[in-house]
């Protein structure tokens, strides 16, 4: 039997950002539907063939090319996709009830951050200087996804449709009509595209821009460490790439290493011992010897700046609305700020305005554009400032790091945005 359902808001994409928006609207009085192409996420040690890929467009994992056994790895024990959640995003997730469902033993607080240039320059931020408990919390994608879906499955004003795939999307003056591949039709005042960097909703709405290929891959893996990280997140800007080690609970860290595609292929082809030695050397043996605890993987990096993030009856959030370099760790936080802002506008709208009102959506776009463009410009500029061998730029960038390190008010200003 073909169903026809009417909603105020239909969210397409049940990842972290889409799920957080649905949870934020649970007391809004709006009727909601969430369409997700994958089954509901599960938290456990048994992988499924339908599990959502942990990385966007992942490249082949290491170990396979080296014909190396993964025996000894606890592949499902630690998720290779790790996020640095800002205090502002944490507060947003606490309000929805998702944060309280997380296992505190699998969350690590970032109490300080040390950033190194390529000629000895250093910049350090600390929670103490900022007057906050922590600069960020490091946690696993899988755990947060599961917590959010626990909230959604108990939400009375939400209809979950999964696994379901979209077939067509049509727009009229008073509503949008979404047809699923199984023939079911959903009518909505507002369609929210939260369906990732290759967003189907974005294409249907006619919003497009050519992405800029950074000519880099993000190589990710988790390691156990010989020395304690003491809650410090480390980042090394190097001519050939940007290496970050983020603290995990105990003697563990998560790595994101942004390198050229050629260097990425070399890293993935290494034996596990060779990779550990390479990362230890690049990180100046700051945490001693390293042991791999999850197989490495890589994904291509790009910049996507859209001319608009809304259209008649459509709003985009998360990776559907913007892509940026991961060096600042702000991609998912920028997405959460999208969800937070859109939820606030929908809840506070005038009674005569429906959810897809054009002026309402333009207000969302205006409020989000400055934040999005600022983060994209910052990450783009830093990536290109350090990814070159020009002697003058090398001197300038390292002088800048050292100078900033001695200017406490400037450091506070730089960090304040990242805390939101």
What pLDDT, in 10s, does the model give residues 239-297?
778 899 999 999 999 999 999 999 999 999 999 999 999 999 999 999 999 999 999 99
Q: Are 109 and 392 in contact (CB under 8 A)?
A: no
Question: In the chain, which stretches have pLDDT less than 50?
Answer: 1, 45-54, 60-76, 390, 392-393, 399, 406-407, 410
Number of Cβ within a 10 Å radius of residue 53: 11
Nearest to 415 by CA among 163, 59, 136, 226: 136
Q: Are 183 and 309 in contact (CB under 8 A)?
A: no
Task: Identify the pLDDT of residue 213.
Answer: 92
Two tokens, residue 385: 């400032």
Q: φ, ψ for residue 147 (rounded to 5)?
A: -65, -45
Angle, helices 87-96/331-348, rounded to nearest 10 degrees: 50
Q: φ, ψ for residue 48 (rounded to 5)?
A: -125, 155
Sort strands 185-193 and 4-12 into parallel, antiparallel or unpaired.
Answer: parallel
Number of Cβ within a 10 Å radius of residue 147: 25
Two tokens, residue 3: 């169903």
| Alpha-carbon separation of residue 190 from 27, 57, 60, 163, 359 (angstroms) | 17, 28, 38, 21, 13
- Please state which CATH number belongs to domain 4-42+58-403: 3.50.50.60
Question: What is the number of H-type helices and E-type strands within the chain?
Answer: 11, 19
C-alpha–C-alpha distance, residues 131 and 224, integer Å: 30
In eight-state DSSP terms, residue 63 is T
Two tokens, residue 374: 């600022």
Two tokens, residue 341: 């802002």
C-alpha–C-alpha distance, residues 159 and 180, integer Å: 14
CA within 13 Å, CB half, 294 = 23
Two tokens, residue 392: 């003058």
Contact partners, residue 396, CB within 8 Å, separation at least 6: none
- Angle, vertex CA 145, rays to CA 140 and CA 148, nearest 5: 130
Contact partners, residue 409, CB within 8 Å, separation at least 6: none
The 3-state DSSP class for residue 86 equals coil
Q: How far from chain centre, in Å, is Cα 164?
A: 23
Q: Are 315 and 192 in contact (CB under 8 A)?
A: yes
The model's pTM is 0.87
Nearest to 5 by CA among 154, 179, 162, 174: 179
Task: Identify the pLDDT of residue 396.
Answer: 52
Nearest to 315 by CA among 412, 185, 171, 217: 171
Q: Which residue shows structure tokens 């207000």?
A: 363
Burial pattern 197-213, b for ≥16 Cβ within 10 A else e, equals bebbbbebbebeeeeee
Task: Identify the pLDDT of residue 45.
Answer: 41
C-alpha–C-alpha distance, residues 207 and 321, integer Å: 10
| Max CA pair span of the chain | 69
Task: Identify the pLDDT of residue 206.
Answer: 96
C-alpha–C-alpha distance, residues 207 and 192, integer Å: 13
- Please spell the DSSP secondary structure of 358-403, one letter per residue: HHHHHHHHHHHHHHHHHHHHHHHHHHHHHSS--HHHHHHHHHHHHH
Q: How far apart are the first and last CA of the chain?
A: 47
Angle, helices 331-348/358-386, rounded to nearest 10 degrees: 170
Two tokens, residue 235: 């980042």
Q: Which residue shows structure tokens 């003697």?
A: 251
- Residue 413's DSSP bridge partners are none
C-alpha–C-alpha distance, residues 203 and 199, integer Å: 7
In eight-state DSSP terms, residue 119 is S
């Amino acid at each position: 039997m073909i169903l026809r359902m009417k909603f105020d808001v239909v969210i397409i994409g049940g990842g972290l950002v889409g799920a957080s928006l649905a949870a934020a609207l649970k007391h809004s009085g709006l009727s909601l539907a969430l369409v997700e192409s994958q089954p509901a996420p599960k938290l456990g040690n048994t992988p499924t063939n339908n599990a959502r890929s942990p990385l966007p467009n992942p490249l082949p994992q290491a170990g396979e090319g080296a014909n190396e056994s993964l025996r000894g790895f606890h592949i499902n024990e630690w998720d290779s996709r790790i996020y640095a959640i800002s205090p502002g995003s944490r507060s947003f997730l606490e309000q929805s009830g998702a944060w309280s469902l997380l296992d505190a033993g699998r969350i690590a607080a970032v109490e300080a951050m040390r950033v190194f240039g390529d000629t000895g320059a250093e910049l350090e931020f600390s929670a103490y200087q900022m007057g906050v408990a922590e600069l960020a919390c490091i946690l696993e994608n899988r755990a947060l996804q599961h917590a959010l879906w626990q909230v959604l499955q108990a939400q009375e004003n939400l209809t979950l449709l999964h696994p379901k795939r979209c077939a067509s999307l049509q727009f009229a003056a008073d509503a949008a009509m979404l047809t699923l591949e199984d023939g079911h039709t959903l009518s909505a005042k507002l369609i929210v595209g939260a369906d990732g960097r290759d967003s189907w909703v974005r294409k249907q709405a006619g919003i497009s821009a050519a992405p800029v290929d950074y000519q880099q891959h993000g190589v990710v893996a988790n390691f156990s460490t010989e020395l304690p990280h003491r809650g410090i997140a480390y980042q090394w800007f190097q001519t050939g790439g940007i290496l970050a080690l983020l603290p995990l609970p105990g003697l563990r860290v998560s790595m994101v290493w942004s390198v050229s595609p050629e260097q990425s292929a070399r890293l993935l082809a290494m034996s596990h011992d060779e990779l550990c030695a390479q990362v230890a050397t690049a990180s100046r043996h700051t945490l001693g010897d390293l042991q791999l605890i999850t197989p490495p993987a890589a994904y291509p990096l790009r910049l996507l700046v859209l001319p608009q993030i809304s259209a008649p009856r459509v709003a985009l959030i998360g990776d559907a609305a913007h892509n940026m370099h991961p060096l600042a760790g702000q991609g998912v936080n920028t997405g959460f700020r999208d969800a937070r802002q859109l939820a606030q506008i929908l809840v506070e709208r005038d009674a005569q305005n429906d959810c897809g009102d054009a002026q309402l959506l333009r207000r969302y776009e205006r409020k989000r554009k400055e934040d999005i463009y600022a983060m994209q410009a910052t990450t783009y500029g830093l990536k290109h400032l350090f990814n070159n061998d020009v002697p003058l730029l090398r001197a300038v960038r390292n002088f800048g790091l050292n100078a900033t390190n001695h200017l406490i008010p400037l450091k506070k200003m730089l960090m304040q945005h990242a805390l939101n």
